[in-house]
């Protein structure tokens, strides 16, 4: 179990490295370009390759590819694994190139699908179409990069793949700065994205070669690679639907006030910080470790891993959600509130952050539960759960958009995550989280979170600086848990 914790920490540290640079990137983009129709266009154009990235990269294909790769390395050796991975790279690249050709031929039609509320704004649509053409090749680099990252995870290398996105963020920081000093030309930021994707791919590919990967060029595509796509099709749909939940929010937001898409983006980026920092790290390592346990027919270890993952998420994400909801305004003001990002933008983004944060626990549990199914090569159940959640998201998004504006769209995503999470849990086979057995832990988390919330509320009313307040809240939560007999480090182990 200590090895599991060590791997989670490596993955989490790598994600933290990337997220820190990502936060700097978002701060600069917000300050340099603000929240307006042009930033709405950029975030939609940037979201399109990221949506398909979920189909072709780490979200879907890796979830199916990692268990198969684990079996091959364990039972057939390095050459067989390299042959399988090489075939996957060629197949994925071919599919993506066809997609890129379609976007290059019909850029304005492609972008209009994702921001229909701007369909009468010819200048904004043209700008978005130009940005989409620049950004789409990034999909190819990041998708291939994700395949090699999965290979590195199986080789017990977690930090470098998770931290490699820092290169993308550094490149985007350079692009944002160059765009700002060149009359606010946001297109230069798009070139920063593309350059970062290429550099990230070279880094991860080099690490994979160092760890033992050797390209295997053979006639035709590896049979197991083709079988992977048989398994991955439902997974593509389920993970793609989860990404579509955020994309649908942007589509609906395009009918609201100018800047609504940008508010959702900035809020979602902050919301993703704890989600990516911890929940994704736990989910990534859990997938790999459960896959290894399954390969060794060690189902007792499998269930122990699931229990530990769920408890760790409860201990971290419940107070994190409470803190984000209570301190949304000062956090947004501290992070984004400068230069072109005014008080109106701060308040609007903070509202969206509160709505997203209400679903933080459920988004986190989805990251773990879905990977349990993928490790068992069951991709149909996550598809059904995601589909049900997607329907709730669309219906509630349209229902809430009038009374709550862009905040209603964020709330709809959180409720959809709750529905998705419940569907995944009730369909898990050979596993049942013991609420009665964990009632003491759950109660102590609730009491500690309440104590933390009271303290940071009072400190916020007294205008305590937000970083000091966050530190104070973390200390109150930790020591309250300790007083109640819960050693957080022991829970994590």
Q: Which structural domain, as residue segments, surrounds residue 410?
A: 2-433
pLDDT in tens, the chain (493 residues): 455 555 555 555 666 777 788 888 888 888 888 888 888 888 888 888 877 776 665 555 565 666 677 777 777 777 777 777 787 888 888 888 998 999 899 888 888 888 888 877 888 888 888 999 999 999 888 888 888 887 787 777 767 777 778 888 899 999 999 988 888 888 899 999 999 989 988 888 888 888 777 877 766 666 666 666 666 665 555 556 666 777 788 888 888 888 888 888 889 888 877 776 666 666 556 656 665 555 555 556 666 677 777 878 888 889 999 999 999 999 999 988 887 888 998 999 999 999 999 988 898 888 778 777 766 667 678 878 888 888 999 899 899 988 898 899 999 989 998 998 888 888 877 666 666 667 777 888 889 999 999 999 999 898 889 899 999 998 999 899 888 887 777 666 5
Domain for residue 486, yes or no?
Answer: no
Domain count, the chain: 1
Give the Cα separation of 419 and 424 in Å (integer). 9
Domain for residue 492, yes or no?
Answer: no
Domain for residue 93, yes or no?
Answer: yes
Domain for residue 203, yes or no?
Answer: yes
Domain for residue 479, yes or no?
Answer: no
Domain for residue 374, yes or no?
Answer: yes
Domain for residue 249, yes or no?
Answer: yes
Domain for residue 208, yes or no?
Answer: yes
């Amino acid at each position: 179990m200590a090895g599991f914790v060590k791997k989670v920490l490596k993955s989490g540290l790598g994600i933290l490295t990337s997220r820190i640079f990502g936060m700097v990137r978002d701060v600069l983009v917000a300050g340099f370009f603000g929240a307006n129709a042009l930033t709405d266009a950029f975030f939609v154009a940037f979201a399109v390759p990221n949506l398909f990235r979920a189909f072709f990269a780490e979200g879907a294909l890796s979830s199916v590819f990692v268990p198969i790769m684990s079996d091959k390395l364990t039972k057939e050796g390095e050459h067989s694994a390299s042959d399988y991975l090489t075939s996957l790279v060629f197949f994925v690249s071919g599919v993506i190139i066809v997609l890129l050709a379609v976007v290059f031929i019909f850029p304005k039609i492609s972008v209009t699908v994702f921001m229909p509320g701007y369909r009468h704004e010819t200048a904004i649509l043209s700008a978005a179409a130009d940005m989409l053409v620049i950004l789409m090749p990034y999909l190819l680099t990041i998708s291939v990069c994700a395949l090699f990252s999965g290979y590195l995870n199986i080789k017990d290398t977690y930090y470098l793949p998770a931290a490699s996105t820092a290169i993308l963020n550094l490149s985007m920081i350079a692009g944002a700065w160059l765009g700002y000093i060149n009359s606010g030309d946001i297109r230069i930021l798009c070139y920063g994205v593309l350059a970062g994707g290429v550099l990230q791919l070279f880094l991860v590919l080099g690490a994979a070669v160092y760890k033992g990967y050797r390209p295997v060029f053979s006639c035709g595509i590896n049979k197991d690679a083709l079988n992977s796509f048989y398994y991955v099709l439902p997974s593509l749909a389920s993970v793609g639907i989860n990404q579509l939940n955020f994309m649908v929010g942007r589509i609906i937001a395009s009918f609201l006030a100018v800047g609504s898409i940008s508010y959702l983006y900035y809020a979602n980026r902050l919301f993703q910080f704890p989600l990516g920092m911890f929940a994704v790290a736990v989910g990534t390592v859990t997938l790999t470790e459960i896959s290894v346990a399954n390969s060794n027919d060690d189902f007792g270890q499998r269930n122990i891993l699931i229990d530990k993952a769920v408890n760790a998420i409860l201990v971290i994400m419940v107070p994190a959600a409470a803190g984000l909801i209570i301190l949304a305004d000062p956090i947004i003001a501290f992070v984004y509130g400068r230069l072109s990002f005014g008080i109106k933008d701060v308040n609007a983004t903070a509202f969206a952050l509160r709505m997203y944060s209400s679903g933080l626990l459920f988004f986190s549990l989805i990251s773990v539960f879905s990977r349990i199914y993928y490790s068992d090569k069951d991709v149909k159940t996550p598809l059904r759960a995601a589909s049900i959640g997607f329907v709730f998201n669309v219906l509630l998004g349209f229902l809430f958009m009038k009374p709550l504006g862009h905040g209603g769209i964020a709330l709809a995503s959180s409720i959809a995550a709750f529905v998705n999470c419940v569907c995944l849990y009730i369909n898990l086979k050979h596993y049942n989280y013991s609420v009665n057995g964990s009632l003491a832990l759950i109660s102590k988390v609730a009491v500690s979170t309440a104590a933390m919330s009271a303290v940071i509320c009072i400190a916020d009313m007294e205008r305590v600086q937000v970083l000091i307040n966050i530190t104070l809240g973390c200390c109150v939560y930790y020591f309250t848990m300790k007083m109640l007999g819960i050693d957080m480090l022991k829970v994590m182990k």
